[in-house]
Structure 1
Amino acid sequence: MYLKTLSIIFLMFMSILLTPAVTTSLSMGSEPDNVYTTPLIAGQYMVVGEVAVWTSIVDDSIILHVLYNITDPAWYLTEAHLAVATSLYDIPMTKKGNPIPGKFPYKAYDLWVQSYEFTVNLTEMFGLQCPVDESEATLYIAAHAVVAKLDEYGEIIQAETAWGEGARFTDRGNWGMYFTYTVSCETGEMCYLNDDAETSWAYGMPFSGGSWAMYVVYDGGYVTTDLIRAQHYDVGDVYITVDGGQMVINIALDEGYSISYYHIHVATSLDEIPQNRAGNPQIGLFEYQGSYSEITPNITLYLPLDEAEQYAETLYVAIHVGVATYTCSS
């Protein structure tokens, strides 16, 4: 029997698992030995997430990873700007020493995500090679973002500038910050994503069409069900609950599996889930969609519910996931 109701003990565990601190895992699949994290500060005083930095070795090149990770479910990244330099004075700034994010070399606009990653080839950019000379090992990093906050109805109520916490560029004026990172070639275990994503569904009731697609009936509380890959293989768990005006869905895969993409639709009736005439779901029309280019074994999504969904006694949830495998080596 795949569908399970959580016990009281497991409910206590899930209340911890589904806290805002869980959004998405580091893209390396397991935390590397040389990771450095610093808080992501919005509006000078609010911690809304973190910036994680680490390196990997790819084809003899040192690759720097900078991951912006929102940990407060009410906030979203809308822009991200990154500057990486071997000298503080190589970061774009005014004559008075204030940073200029618009001139940072790495930029991302029109975002609406809670996790975003930049990668920088340090071998190509700065000529760094393993083993790294101590005199060249220190990087100066300025991680800037624009973040927006939603209320319980899904409306934007606040927008702020955010910086990865560190030292201020200047004592007066702009409160922008930078931090340093020491490059290391000791990366520990390395994991690589395989190109073998397979269709997977959260186990539940079958649609009326001929495919093996399924939907979950949510009647309240905490519900968990298995994630089935390629129709026959249980590769992880899906946890579903409602918290205020949002549905919280955590997808946690077993070791060796990674989320490549997802399509999710929540409705007050089965007929409201997009389907073709044969009764098979049309995943391209699902309301919530996302994809990941790096290893991602665990995500938590906070999906806003409209008024009808918030007051409905029963919700119908279709969760379609592309699941790939990954391989690790020392």
Structure 2
Amino acid sequence: MKKIPLITLALIAVLFTTSCENEETFVDNNTVTNVDPNFRVTTANGNTANQRMSYDEPCMTTNLIAGQNHIAGTVSVDFDGVDLIITYTTNADWSIQATHLSIGNCADQTIPTTGSGNPKIGHFEHSTNHNPDVDVVTYYIDSAALTENYCFAAHAEVNGPTGGETAWAEGTDFDGNNWAMYVEALLSDCNVDNPETER
């Protein structure tokens, strides 16, 4: 029987381990990458009024700006007492092809950026491809992983009347030389008022 050299076995082990690091999870036709146990994602199409949890009002809502000049929808933040809930919702003429979300404590400057201050979207912790396009994407992030002052960058690839566009939740400009934005917020701005699920 031919023996396999030890170095070959070590190489196989390294290759197997590396191939498992960037696993993708398929949910229906949506691909969720960089799966993290502190978050989950859902999507929806059509009228969203009765597809999301109902709160008196979100903690905050900001515009989803596409191509720098178009309001393609909104990005809202809710809180259910456990999870921070970030929802992308498009207007009637727009749909979402992909979403990328980075969230963390503002003091830690956790949103990945280049040396010149532009966001590195490919390194955002949470990414989802949507095939076919969807109207609503909701991320649930365990609030225990955040401190009072948190920041998030919500990016999307959208399709609309002007064709395919990149889109950002409206907020503060990054230091770089593009129009990318991030949002700074406080957990204490969110009050839990016994949300009820409408069906």
TM-score by length of 2: 0.69
Q: Which residue of 2 aligns with 1:120?
A: 141
Q: Which residue of 2 aligns with 1:28?
A: 53
Deviation at 1:186, TM superposition (A): 2.4
Q: Contact 2:59–2:191 at 8 Å: present in 1 too?
A: no
Match of 1:54 among 55, 75, 78: 78
Alpha-carbon distance in structure 1 between the residues aligned to 2:126 and 2:47: 23
1:190 counterpart = 2:168: no
Deviation at 1:70, TM superposition (A): 0.3
Q: Which residue of 1 aligns with 2:126?
A: 106
Alpha-carbon distance in structure 2 between the residues aligned to 1:140 and 1:178: 7
Alpha-carbon distance in structure 2 between the residues aligned to 1:23 and 1:41: 21
Match of 1:164 among 165, 169, 173: 169
| Structure 1 gap segments, 5+ residues each | 1-21, 127-135, 151-156, 194-256, 259-330
Alpha-carbon distance in structure 2 between the residues aligned to 1:39 and 1:64: 18
| Structure 2 gap segments, 5+ residues each | 1-45
Q: Which residue of 1 aligns with 2:152?
A: 141
Alpha-carbon distance in structure 1 between the residues aligned to 2:47 and 2:71: 15
SS in 2 for 1:44: coil
Letter in 1 for 2:99: A
Q: Name the Cα RMSD after superposition.
A: 2.0
C-alpha offsets along residues 86-130 of structure 1, whole Å, 9 cap, x if unaligned? 12621011111100111111111134111110110021x24xxxx
Q: Which residue of 2 aligns with 1:178?
A: 182
In the alignment of these two chains, the number of paired residues is 150
Q: Which residue of 2 aligns with 1:38?
A: 62
Deviation at 1:23, TM superposition (A): 4.0
Q: Contact 1:147–1:161 at 8 Å: present in 2 too?
A: yes
Deviation at 1:162, TM superposition (A): 0.0
State how 1:288-303 maps to structure 2 within 5 Å: none
Deviation at 1:35, TM superposition (A): 1.9
Q: Contact 1:99–1:174 at 8 Å: present in 2 too?
A: no
Q: Contact 1:52–1:68 at 8 Å: present in 2 too?
A: yes
SS in 2 for 1:40: strand
Alpha-carbon distance in structure 1 between the residues aligned to 2:56 and 2:170: 21
% same residue: 29
SS in 2 for 1:102: helix
SS in 1 for 2:130: coil
SS in 1 for 2:54: coil
State how 1:147-158 maps to structure 2 within 5 Å: 147-149=158-160, 158=163
Q: Contact 2:106–2:150 at 8 Å: present in 1 too?
A: yes
Q: Which residue of 1 aligns with 2:94?
A: 75
Instruction: Quickly say closer, same or farther: Cα 1:74–1:190, change in 2 above 3 A.
Output: closer
Q: Which residue of 1 aligns with 2:106?
A: 87
TM-score by length of 1: 0.43
Q: Contact 1:81–1:144 at 8 Å: present in 2 too?
A: yes
Larger Rg belongs to: 1
Q: Which residue of 2 aligns with 1:64?
A: 84
Q: Contact 1:23–1:69 at 8 Å: present in 2 too?
A: no
Deviation at 1:74, TM superposition (A): 1.9
Q: Contact 1:165–1:179 at 8 Å: present in 2 too?
A: yes
Letter in 2 for 1:95: G
Alpha-carbon distance in structure 2 between the residues aligned to 1:117 and 1:56: 13
Deviation at 1:188, TM superposition (A): 1.2
Letter in 2 for 1:81: H
Q: Contact 1:92–1:103 at 8 Å: present in 2 too?
A: yes
Deviation at 1:181, TM superposition (A): 1.7
SS in 2 for 1:91: coil
